[in-house]
A and B are shown apart, each in its own frame.
Chain A
Amino acid sequence: MNLIWLKFARDRSALTGLVIVALVALIALLAYQIAPYPEDAFSSDPMRRLRPPGAEHLLGTDSLGRDILSRVVLGTRIALGIALSVVTAAMAIGVPLGLVAGYFGGWRSEAVMRVTDVFLAVPQLILALALAQLLRPSLESAMAALILTYWPFFTRIVYAETQRLRHAMFVEALEGLGARPLRIMFLHILPNIASPIIVRATIGMGYAILTAAVLGFLGMGAPPPQPEWGLMVAESRDYLPDAWWFATFPGLAIFLVVFAFNLLGDGLRDIVDPRLRRSR
């Protein structure tokens, strides 16, 4: 454990990622305390519309006179909320399926892995769009669509890892002692394959935030007046090039948070899986 921390502390980019992620989580928790105009999540003030960045409004105001800094800060709650629920739910579906497929093999693994293939046969964004559309556009539909497109990634990795451990000495010993499959899978195999799952989940956070923003931009995510970053960028389009700040800052927020999760995910992968070490 100490060794892992030592390695982590030496990896400057992973550490940067962790610091930013921690900061963003803090901002999300304290959003209503930090935002200078917390009421601007929903209320508008046409008297101060489209003000450029200045002392009163650090990042300017939008077309309805709402403070952009406040909305970007409040948006962290939506982004992290979506990402956490999507990744957790995708894990809840994908991990057990991968365990079953990898442990039992045979028709069970065929069935699970062929379904996984089908979900991976179409680019994730396209599938998410079709699903969100079918479920009627709303924030919940967007989240459901993201969950349904992301679980196969967990299944695939858990399947491969479980197969690797299937005939490990400790698994065969447990079988010899008469432990039931469920017990072996969840209490003994799962803890041994936690690291790649955590790495996947970290990268999945970035994926979920980015894709949720795309759905929001296309009008299939959070409805107005929610301070969702993708939606904010979409609303800014009619005011370019004059109100450049309106489009710029929500997009920067997306970039920063996704970047941080990717840095962290990369760093974690290098530490927990030296085989994949990308000679950084």
Chain B
Amino acid sequence: MLLFLLRRVLLVVPVLFGLLLLTFVLTRVVPSDPAAALAGDQATPQQIAELRATYGFDRPLPEQFLHYLVQIAHGDLGSSYFTRRPVIEDLIERLPATLELTFFALLLSVGLGIPLGVVAALHHNRWLDQVLRVFSVGGIAIASFWLALMLQLVFAMELDLLPLRGRISITGDAPPHLTGSYLIDALVFWRPDILRDALEHIALPAATLAFGSLATIVRFSRSGVLETLQKDFVTFETAIGYPRRVIIAKYVLRNSLVSTVTQIGLLFGGLIAGAVVVEAVFDWPGIGGYAAGAVFSADFQPLLGVTLLIGAVYAGVNIVVDLIHAWIDPRVAETM
């Protein structure tokens, strides 16, 4: 298992290196004047000259690339052209909010999606299955920005049930800082008032974000269970008189959820990307909203930082998923 982990981590290295090379080529080699491209439309000639000097754009490309690697290894992702703040500081400050939102959405889609998928499979071709099937194809066809607005329209504006935007009420306080996740911190320090407020605020953005992945998980767990139900061992166990409930709970589920688990890694990437839109609509103070803000103000350095950070997080999540996969199905670790 340890060897498997080590190999898996080593596999990520060339990909991350490639990502750095790709971003380097995109920012330094493709534009005719990279300093001007980095600086944005409103920069003065002095600012551009200043940038050119700090980044050494006049040096040979291999030297520039080495410099770029050293910079990033030191956590220097440049600074925003508008706030002048280092990108890395902004990212560290905002990452917990995004992780809270994406993990909450992931929990929501896995927690609802797997049972719904299993139920659909057990009701194969009956009306419940048909409804869930339409949902599982339709769910991934909805534009998240539109779903966000529709949920805001119904639940925040018309019914006034949930807050329109933000992570916590303006009048309320944030919980004492421990993990950076308001939900966990409010639980740990037991502040039910803050917990309730934070839950109300996360409900709509998390529901929006979870919607597409929920549909995917329903689909995969449904087809996984259907496939497993046709296996010989199920017929055998039925024949020797195991109760159906035991067969499904004990044997079918474990065997059929493997493909669902591998999907979760891919889904997480989708969730983090979706967070850009969802955070922008709900004013969620995470890195997604940060990226969207950078898009609006044509501020390239923050966007580059977000791209690299998400690439790294994505790689990490996929390693974890592979480990879970190997734990559910030990044969995986042996073949690698």
The answer to whether A and B assemble together is: yes
Binary CB contact string for chain B from 296 to 316 against chain A (1 if under 8 A, 0 otherwise): 101010011011001100110
Q: Does chain B have a CB within 8 A of A76?
A: no
Residue from the list B18, B149, B223 in contact with A247, Cβ < 8 A: B149
In angstroms, Cα B287 to Cα A123, docked, is 14
In angstroms, Cα B247 to Cα A173, docked, is 50
Residue from the list B19, B223, B280 in contact with A118, Cβ < 8 A: B19
Q: Does chain B have a CB within 8 A of A37?
A: no
A279 proximity list for chain B (CB < 8 A): 124, 223, 226-227, 230
Evaluate whether A117 and B15 lie within 8 angstroms (CB atoms) in the complex, with A133-B298, A251-B150 already known. Answer: yes
Tell me if A129 and B18 are in contact (CB < 8 A).
Answer: no
Name which residue of chain B comes closest to A266, CB basis: B137
Tell me if A241 and B158 are in contact (CB < 8 A).
Answer: yes
Q: Does chain A have a CB within 8 A of B153?
A: yes
Q: Which of the listed residues A13, A251, A279, A280 has the most CB atoms from chain B within 10 Å of its own CB? A: A279
Tell me if A255 and B150 are in contact (CB < 8 A).
Answer: no
Evaluate whether A130 and B145 lie within 8 angstroms (CB atoms) in the complex, with A118-B19, A122-B307, A262-B140 already known. Answer: no
Q: Which of the listed residues A230, A236, A278 has the most CB atoms from chain B within 10 Å of its own CB? A: A278
Evaluate whether A230 and B314 lie within 8 angstroms (CB atoms) in the complex, with A130-B304, A134-B31 already known. Answer: no
Q: Does chain A have a CB within 8 A of B213?
A: no
Tell me if B310 and A278 are in contact (CB < 8 A).
Answer: no
B291 proximity list for chain A (CB < 8 A): 126, 129
Q: Does chain B have a CB within 8 A of A121?
A: yes
Residue from the list A126, A137, A263 in contact with B307, Cβ < 8 A: A126
Tell me if A125 and B273 are in contact (CB < 8 A).
Answer: yes
Q: Does chain B have a CB within 8 A of A199?
A: no
A75 proximity list for chain B (CB < 8 A): none
Binary CB contact string for chain B from 125 to 167 against chain A (1 if under 8 A, 0 otherwise): 0000000010001101111111101101100011000000000
A210-254 residues with Cβ-Cβ distance < 8 A to B are 210, 213-214, 217-220, 230, 233-234, 236-237, 240-241, 244, 247-248, 250-251, 254
In angstroms, Cα B303 to Cα A88, docked, is 28
Q: Which of the listed residues A121, A127, A219, A220 has the most CB atoms from chain B within 10 Å of its own CB? A: A121
Evaluate whether A241 and B157 lie within 8 angstroms (CB atoms) in the complex, with A122-B314, A262-B137 already known. Answer: yes
A73-118 residues with Cβ-Cβ distance < 8 A to B are 114-115, 117-118
A247 proximity list for chain B (CB < 8 A): 146, 149-150, 153
Chain A interface: which of B22-30, B49-57, B108-116? B22-30
Dominant SS at the A interface? helix
Tell me if A134 and B300 are in contact (CB < 8 A).
Answer: yes
Tell me if B137 and A233 are in contact (CB < 8 A).
Answer: no
Q: Does chain A have a CB within 8 A of B16?
A: yes
Tell me if B143 and A123 are in contact (CB < 8 A).
Answer: no
Residue from the list A133, A220, A255 in contact with B143, Cβ < 8 A: A255
Q: Does chain B have a CB within 8 A of A195?
A: no
Tell me if B273 and A123 are in contact (CB < 8 A).
Answer: yes
B31 proximity list for chain A (CB < 8 A): 134
Tell me if B310 and A123 are in contact (CB < 8 A).
Answer: yes
A220 proximity list for chain B (CB < 8 A): 295
In angstroms, Cα B27 to Cα A119, docked, is 16
Name which residue of chain A comes closest to B230, CB basis: A279
Tell me if A131 and B26 are in contact (CB < 8 A).
Answer: yes
Tell me if A134 and B143 are in contact (CB < 8 A).
Answer: no
Tell me if A240 and B153 are in contact (CB < 8 A).
Answer: yes
Tell me if A133 and B295 are in contact (CB < 8 A).
Answer: yes
Name which residue of chain B comes closest to A127, CB basis: B307
Tell me if A124 and B273 are in contact (CB < 8 A).
Answer: yes
Tell me if A258 and B153 are in contact (CB < 8 A).
Answer: no
In angstroms, Cα B51 to Cα A177, docked, is 60
Q: Does chain B have a CB within 8 A of A8?
A: no
Q: Does chain A have a CB within 8 A of B180?
A: no
| Chain A: minimal CB distance from B153 (Å) | 5
Tell me if B37 and A126 are in contact (CB < 8 A).
Answer: no
Tell me if A230 and B141 are in contact (CB < 8 A).
Answer: no
Q: Does chain B have a CB within 8 A of A32?
A: no
B133 proximity list for chain A (CB < 8 A): 13, 280
In angstroms, Cα B273 to Cα A27, docked, is 32
B140 proximity list for chain A (CB < 8 A): 262
Q: A122-B19, A133-B298, A279-B230 are in contact. List 13 more A-B contacts (CB 8 A).
A: A114-B15, A117-B14, A121-B15, A121-B16, A121-B315, A122-B307, A123-B310, A126-B273, A126-B307, A218-B295, A220-B295, A230-B143, A251-B149
